[in-house]
Amino acid sequence: MLNVSELTVDIQGSRILRGISLEVRAGELVCLLGRNGAGKTTTFRSLMGYLRPVSGRISWEDKDLARLSTWQIAQLGIGFSPEESEVYADLTVEENIELPTWTRTCGRPAAERISEAYRIFPKLERYRKRGGAELSGGERKMVSIARALALDAELLLLDEPFEGLSPAIIPLVAEGVAAIRQSGKAIVMAESNLHHVPDYIDKLVVIERGEIIYTGSLSGALGDVEVMKIIAGAVDAEPQT
Amino acid sequence: MSAVFDVISPRIRPRPKPRLLNGVIPFVVLLAGLAIAPLMLTPYSTVMLMPALAFGIALLGMNLLFGYTGLLSFGNAMFLAVGAYVAAAATQAGVLHFELILIAAASLGGLFALAIGALCVRFTHIFFGMLTLAFGMLLHSFLFKFYNLTGGDQGMRVLRPMLLGQDWDMTATQFLSGPFYYYCLIVYVLLGLLTWRIVSSPLGLQLRAIRDNESKARYLGVRVYRLRLFAFVVSGVFGAIAGAMLGVSTGLADPELAYWPQSGNLIFMMILGGAGTFVGPGVGALIFVLLHEVLVSSTAYWRFMLGATLVFLVLVLPEGLIGTISNHLQRRVRGDAQ
């Protein structure tokens, strides 16, 4: 589905990604785990065509994404919920979620996509007419994910979906992510906090200083002392017996 | 978009739409007021209102560009000049049907906007504003210097056109305050309804998304460049139509129409009424024209007074008259509800 091969990206002359490779299959939930500044957001921004790679290849169902504009990538069915997850303050929740159904008109009918977004985040149903500026941080995050979902995306890129949320809201967002995954969509989720990584992920990819240092299962990473040193500090390491 | 707005004032920027007074109904009330004005005013006073109609039409397009898409043009007066010179050239060439003149002005204004916009809308912030200003000044220089073609500083005479195929046998004041006034008002109504259709459609939703955050709009599949260009072309078409009307009402296509203070006046009107509200710029145009007439006839320091009004607006009513009244009403409604 999505294949990233030897991706190298520079920002203002500094090398941020150093030949990372990543594969996401249909319906898979992949977690990209790394510390702040490791290159998670840069990876997502490169996948969305916002940053042009120095070298490497990004392919989506045999299409070379590196040659496409951001809006073209979105219209292929890749939804992105950025870390800051700002919703449009001037638009209501309803308008925010409706917007991508007008930009990507292929795929399922708009009504079906919108109702799916509300089904996954039922709390938003009550706030349909509420302005984006009147939402809490957690609600904005839900709108941001629901909006990416309403693109009828086959792959969702969620950049730190739990970042900055109160403990009371995190389970609601987590339930939404789980429901999206159950609907068969592929998800790549970036996380900097190991404790926010859902235990039902299919694959964990650990990134450090722009390089992939681990690809495998969550349990495998928890048992790897070297990996644990980087993502959680040595204290949390659980060496395999 | 912050940089370009902060150049003028950190407080002047397209705001989240006020819920009240932002529908089509206040616009209809404005048009109704303009429709009955000739019945209560002298013909001379009605002619004085003509620029308010023309500027109102130009501002429909400019508000789409700034209030809804977030691009502040410092050179939109160039389209007024395009329209006025098309009217002058057409009437001098014997084409007197005003419908044909409007179509020609709209077409040339649109093509002109397409050519300039193809470059300008690649840029945002102050760069977009400066580029439009530069193109406006280029056109002004062209109109001013190419004397044989444009009449230079003398401009070009705009002859009285035929409306609906009829050659109205009456004095200039009667023509302008009667048939021509209502003709322009009907065009204003039609273009207003067209603009309302745009801003309340999915297209308008995408324009507002671009205004608020173009990066996120791209992430959602919005074709930012194409839609910005669309808004710029609409502003060019409406500006040229307005210019043709201004040319007929003054009887002259003047290079000063393309000069940068004219673009400043358009921005002034938009801010005065409230950018981003549908009816605000139209109200701003009306108040500006009336204020201008009153100040010019009562004091030699009218420019100073207009400047002071702008300062007052920026400091006290940053959302313009309609925006401020609307927010006030909104607060009262909320207060009553609680």
Confidence of residue B11 (pLDDT cuts 50, 70, 90): very low
CB pairs A-B closer than 8 Å: 64
Residue tagged 């009504």 (tokens): A111
User: Quick check: A182 pLDDT over 70?
Assistant: yes
Record the pTM.
Answer: 0.88
Of B69 and A85, the structure prediction assigns the larger pLDDT to: B69
- What pLDDT shows up at residue B235? 98
- Domains of chain B are 2-11+51-337 (1.10.3470)
- What pLDDT shows up at residue B20? 56
Confidence of residue A239 (pLDDT cuts 50, 70, 90): very low
Contact list in B for residue A91 (CB cut-off 8 A) is 205, 208-209, 212
Among A214, A174, A216, CA closest to A196: A174
CATH of domain A68-185: 3.40.50.300
3-state secondary structure of A83: coil
Q: What share of chain B is helix, strand, coil (3-state, %, to 5)?
A: 75, 0, 20
- The predicted model gives A198-209 an average pLDDT of 92
Structure tokens at B144: 């001013």
CA B255 to chain centre: 18
User: Quick check: A41 pLDDT over 60?
Assistant: yes
To the nearest whole angstrom, how far is the Cα of B282 from the nearest Cα of chain A?
A: 22
Confidence of residue B9 (pLDDT cuts 50, 70, 90): very low
Picking from B220, B224, B225 by the largest number of A CB atoms within 10 A of its own CB, the best residue to mutate is: B220
Confidence of residue B24 (pLDDT cuts 50, 70, 90): confident
pLDDT in tens, B76-126: 999 999 999 999 999 999 999 999 999 999 999 999 999 999 999 999 889
Whether residue B222 and residue A103 make contact (CB cut-off 8 A), yes or no, is yes
pLDDT in tens, B151-163: 999 999 999 999 9
- What pLDDT shows up at residue A118? 94
User: Quick check: B18 pLDDT over 50?
Assistant: no
pLDDT in tens, B214-254: 988 999 999 999 999 999 999 999 999 999 999 999 999 99
Confidence of residue B5 (pLDDT cuts 50, 70, 90): very low
User: Quick check: B8 pLDDT over 50?
Assistant: no
Q: For the purposes of burial, counting CB atoms within 10 Å of the CB of A141, is it exposed (0-12), middle (13-18) or buried (19 or more)?
A: buried
pLDDT in tens, A47-100: 999 999 999 999 998 899 988 999 999 999 999 998 886 788 888 999 999 999
